[in-house]
Structure 1
């Protein structure tokens, strides 16, 4: 059974407690700012200014790379032909990224909104819709002061990519459910062990409540701990319920996309 994607916002998790921490970072004007977020590198991927998916900064030489799910940024192909619209039938629109997003209503963007310059997706997704290629790397533009998004969220906050991970791994998964049922726009998180998905053994699987629509693209971070940003092994792709979530394990093809994005 093909899992339902959890990208464009429609529902969210109510009453799911998000961890809290205070990180002293910098605003777009280079002023000190206390950001209440345990994961400042994780935020909301926006399409035309609206919550679309989840995304996260991934460690890179220039600090300009963000990871998310392929279905969040490119239509699914079929039979070797490109798709025309996103998975929910809507146009994707102009993309931007707001790390450490929070707050009621339209939300706060304490670390700014970063324009997506380029999108890097595997042809296995754009032509054939293969779930094992449902990942993407985005190059984001620097801010008006020339700083990278990784500089602003904290160089030590972005997990490094892992291209050769095993399937069974202790991970922390972080995502932003849609504000319909998550009115304060707080990230939800779960630390658990991954395994093979029963329906598709090539996909990673976790069982954690609260990962509703809007959490597609959520980072799956291994080896995270005090003083350790951890290793990014995949991003949330889909799941039949808010409890069941899947991800494509990063591989050599993902590495090529990442390297292309990092050169941007």
Structure 2
């Protein structure tokens, strides 16, 4: 059975994990050219390394801590982020009262150098709502964010990765994510640049091999030539990670998020 990180639910489950059950969050798998030397490329990484991270990549955060990774996706209003569906929707409902913290890092409560943005809406595929973990082919989600206290959208502050809806499964990718505190007490993101291959177990998905993507890295962006082609969702072993390759179905869900992002937030209730 494909391994997934459990979702951090407001009911007091675990605080800092949410990326997959088991020992490690999906670990990337390297495929593609066998060594990369003949093609002039550096050899793919086999183990993730501590990283300064990317401003566009951060964590999903609530008062109990962080659990999954997410990243900013280019959008008209600049307020959409991508993550894994299992990070934000389970047992028939979406998680609530949480925020996105780009560029997060540090021990304990950590630092939020770019601030935090409250999540307003959670968009997952209808197939995921109906079947949950049995709908692995739809394990991606798009979240819309409210402006920060200064009225800025997240993309204005940290930038965004443009999505690619037509990628193939065999690419050179860079994946950045945040393992949970058990494996990452310093709160440092890890990064791996490696080759992917087609996932033989799930049509429309890709795999990579790279140690170090423990719980917490679910939702990590898979960037190929700087464009977002998928998010980390699961893996069969501690050294493998998988992601659904973004396609027309993913774009339709993204379009739904863009539409939701353009809808004004309801006014705050008046104080009596």
TM-score bracket for the superposition, by shorter chain length: 0.7 to 0.9
Q: 2:78 aligns with which of 37, 42, 63?
A: 63
CA gap of 1:182–1:69, structure 2 versus 1, over 3 A, is same
The answer to whether the 8 Å contact 1:5/1:239 transfers is no
Q: 1:205 aligns with which of 204, 207, 210?
A: 207
Pairs aligned (count):
225
The answer to whether the 8 Å contact 2:137/2:203 transfers is no
Matching residue of 1:138: 143
Q: How does 1:82-231 map to 2 (within 5 A)?
A: 83-84=91-92, 92-129=95-132, 130-153=135-158, 155=159, 158-223=160-225, 230-231=226-227
Matching residue of 1:30: none
TM-score by length of 1: 0.79
- SS of the equivalent of 1:257 reads helix
In structure 2, what is the Cα distance between the partners aligned to 1:243 and 1:121?
A: 27
TM-score by length of 2: 0.77
1:185-240 per-residue CA deviation (whole Å, 9 max, x = no partner) reads 111111111111232243210001100111100000000xxxxxx11001000113
In structure 2, what is the Cα distance between the partners aligned to 1:72 and 1:2?
A: 15
The answer to whether the 8 Å contact 1:7/1:214 transfers is no
In structure 2, what is the Cα distance between the partners aligned to 1:99 and 1:186?
A: 13
Matching residue of 1:28: none
The answer to whether the 8 Å contact 1:12/1:182 transfers is no
CA gap of 1:259–1:131, structure 2 versus 1, over 3 A, is same
RMSD across aligned positions (CA): 2.1
Q: 2:239 aligns with which of 237, 240, 243?
A: 243
In structure 1, what is the Cα distance between the partners aligned to 2:154 and 2:186?
A: 23
Q: Which moved more, 1:38-47 or 1:98-107?
A: 38-47
Matching residue of 2:40: none
Q: Which has the larger radius of gyration?
A: 2
Shift of 1:93: 4.2
Higher relative contact order (CA 8 A, sep 6+): 2
Gaps of 5+ in 1: 20-36, 76-82, 87-91, 224-229
The answer to whether the 8 Å contact 1:178/1:185 transfers is yes
Matching residue of 1:17: 49
Matching residue of 2:32: none
In structure 2, what is the Cα distance between the partners aligned to 1:111 and 1:247?
A: 27
- SS of the equivalent of 2:180 reads coil
2:54 is aligned with 1:51:
no
- SS of the equivalent of 2:192 reads strand
- SS of the equivalent of 1:127 reads helix
1:24-58 per-residue CA deviation (whole Å, 9 max, x = no partner) reads xxxxxxxxxxxxx3411000112445212000011
Gaps of 5+ in 2: 9-15, 18-22, 26-46, 262-272
CA gap of 1:97–1:120, structure 2 versus 1, over 3 A, is same
2:34 is aligned with 1:2:
no
Shift of 1:247: 0.7
